[in-house]
Structure 1
Amino acid sequence: MKSKMVHTFLISLLITLSAGIPAHADHHAGVHPPEGFSALFNGKDLKGWWGIGTEDPAKWMALSPEKLAEKKAKSMLDIRKHWSVENNELVNDGRGLYLSTEKNFGDFELLLEYRTVAKADSGIYLRGIPQVQIWDYTKEGGKWNIGADKGSGGLWNNPKNWPGKDPLVLADKPFGQWNSFRIIMAGNLVTIYLNEKLVVDHARLQNYFNKKGPLPERGPIQLQTHGGEIRWRNVFVREIGAEESRKIQGYTK
């Protein structure tokens, strides 16, 4: 009888404890995706990421599975030198390969926050294509001559005078504060909000590696390193289905 009572107690205890465990796999400590989104960064390690530089995704995607696995393993040696995790934040020292998702994405909505320092430069690659620009928007940053005075969030590698190359408004927050991006990519069109202000409105992203060719249908999301510490947190993604993508691109039945 005593043994049966203990057994019943242990089962009840396990049920009680399990009720307190979040059911959603993405709900790590301090990482809580909005409804419909999943976490690309789990808040504790670099699982789900590897390292790529400014490389044509078509080339490394053409590698054999063995060669690609070798490339990924080698990249992590560099990533671990320059990337770390602190307090649910991804931290980069301004050098090394770009932190890149192992998963390749087609159409998606990306949410993230970043914080950087004076004179730093960074960006976000979409499907492996540069880039949503992040930089020092002040005169002291030394890049007013190439457009930094207009602020972050533009598709900087687009040709001059193309829609989206320069942000519609200056939306950067002062250094030391967290900035938030909402990036929507459907087909070859990109819409970007920086700190809830529209900075790019349905602009075409040019294929940097094949300027006359189409964008890759799928590719990684990459966080660029380009001098100066930058921190990232709350990196969430929602994949966009075909019907929603067509609506975003303006197709009608």
Structure 2
Amino acid sequence: MSNDGFVPLFDGVSLAGWHAAPRIYGSVYPGGPSVLEHFDSLGLERPVEPEKHPARWKVEDGVLVGEQDAPGSGYGGYLVSDQAFGDFELLLEMRPDWPADTGVMIRRQRDSWEGFQVLVDHRPSGGIGGFFGNGLASFSAVPFAIDVVRDDAGRPTGLVADNPATSVEPVTEAKRDRLSYAADVDDFLKVWRWDDWNELRIRCVGAMPVITTWINGVKIAELDTATLESPNYDADAVFEVLGDRGHIALEVHDNDSMFGEARWGVGAQCRWRNIRIKELPAGSGGGSQ
């Protein structure tokens, strides 16, 4: 253990303490229709045999790498911590390719898909540092969305604010209003390091937690899951499913008919390192500055 109380979750040489899991689907919200039925209602194609493709996870030069299995196949998955956690602060460094729709799930169920997700949607119209409810009424609570700027040869060279007029998935006032704190996109863009390592800090406190995120030391978003208001979201029902402890999971997204390869580019990877956690005593209070 370091002097700051954080302990490593990733040893830098192996996947010890983690296990791969496929992108299986349950209900849209507790007691609601299945995700596959929801796909049908929207006229979307169902994923085929996703349970056979848990993504590919490996360690290279002290870095944890996630990619689709096989690269370009369109199949995603998760890497899930063997240990479950209650209240905690999590620190990690991340370096996603463009486009790579990834994220960090917390309070996740071990063998099903429910949990709160901290978004690292490094793709067109993506949210970074905001939140999504997997199996929890698919709520979206995000402060901003991003896109990419390209050079004359069409190569991506950095992030810019998403243009609401052309956005595939625009940020609405409702999405921002679900947050008790929402940073401006310009504050984020000033600190994000393109094609380099960026630090994500997540604080999760409470039986129905207050979740706070920072990128490179800048506070990005805060969400009170006990008071969140979103269609079909019921905090009591969510607590019945999740309880007050859960697993941490890293994501490789699959491709879908909405975004296609803009969701996860052919051969794209997300890289993680220096993953550390500090467990907090119950009742430690909400988000800190």
The TM tier, using the shorter chain, reads 0.5 to 0.7
Give the counterpart of 2:17 among 31, 48, 55.
48
Give the number of the structure whose residues are more often helix, by fraction: 1
Match for residue 155 of structure 1? 131
Distance across 2 between alignment mates of 1:221 and 1:40: 10
Shift of 1:193: 0.6
Distance across 2 between alignment mates of 1:224 and 1:235: 14
The alignment partner of 1:221 has SS state of: strand
Shift of 1:179: 1.0
The alignment partner of 1:248 has SS state of: coil
Give the counterpart of 1:134 among 120, 125, 128.
120
The alignment partner of 1:46 has SS state of: coil
Give the number of the structure whose residues are more often strand, by fraction: 2
Tell me: CA distance 1:238–1:55, structure 2 relative to 1, closer, same or farther (3 Å): farther
Give the counterpart of 1:181 among 176, 200, 208.
200
Shift of 1:169: 2.9
Distance across 1 between alignment mates of 2:275 and 2:105: 14
Give the counterpart of 1:225 among 252, 269, 276.
252
Tell me: CA distance 1:82–1:34, structure 2 relative to 1, closer, same or farther (3 Å): farther
The reply to whether residue 214 of structure 1 matches residue 238 of structure 2 is yes
Tell me: CA distance 1:54–1:207, structure 2 relative to 1, closer, same or farther (3 Å): farther
The reply to whether residue 112 of structure 1 matches residue 134 of structure 2 is no
Distance across 1 between alignment mates of 2:287 and 2:100: 33
Gap regions ≥5 residues in structure 1: 1-23, 25-32, 60-76
Shift of 1:44: 0.4
The reply to whether residue 83 of structure 1 matches residue 57 of structure 2 is yes
Tell me: CA distance 1:55–1:91, structure 2 relative to 1, closer, same or farther (3 Å): same
Note the aligned Cα RMSD (angstroms): 3.3
The alignment partner of 2:273 has SS state of: strand
- Assess if the C-alpha contact under 8 Å between 2:181 and 2:222 holds in 1: no
Q: What is the percent sequence identity of the aligned residues?
A: 29
Give the counterpart of 2:286 among 223, 248, 251.
248
Tell me: CA distance 1:54–1:203, structure 2 relative to 1, closer, same or farther (3 Å): farther
The alignment partner of 1:214 has SS state of: helix
The alignment partner of 2:247 has SS state of: coil
**TM-score normalized with structure 1 length:** 0.64
Match for residue 3 of structure 1? none
Tell me: CA distance 1:45–1:193, structure 2 relative to 1, closer, same or farther (3 Å): same
Tell me: CA distance 1:55–1:222, structure 2 relative to 1, closer, same or farther (3 Å): farther
The alignment partner of 1:220 has SS state of: strand
Distance across 1 between alignment mates of 2:278 and 2:56: 28
Distance across 1 between alignment mates of 2:18 and 2:180: 28
Give the counterpart of 2:5 among 23, 33, 36.
36
The reply to whether residue 97 of structure 1 matches residue 77 of structure 2 is yes
Shift of 1:37: 1.0
The alignment partner of 1:103 has SS state of: strand
Tell me: CA distance 1:249–1:193, structure 2 relative to 1, closer, same or farther (3 Å): closer
Shift of 1:55: 5.4
Match for residue 150 of structure 2? none
Tell me: CA distance 1:207–1:234, structure 2 relative to 1, closer, same or farther (3 Å): farther
Shift of 1:78: 5.6
- Assess if the C-alpha contact under 8 Å between 2:84 and 2:248 holds in 1: yes
Give the counterpart of 2:184 among 169, 183, 186.
169
Distance across 1 between alignment mates of 2:275 and 2:178: 26
The alignment partner of 2:252 has SS state of: coil
**TM-score normalized with structure 2 length:** 0.57
- Assess if the C-alpha contact under 8 Å between 2:7 and 2:276 holds in 1: yes
Q: How many residues align?
A: 189
Distance across 2 between alignment mates of 1:116 and 1:84: 15
Amino acid at match of 2:124: G
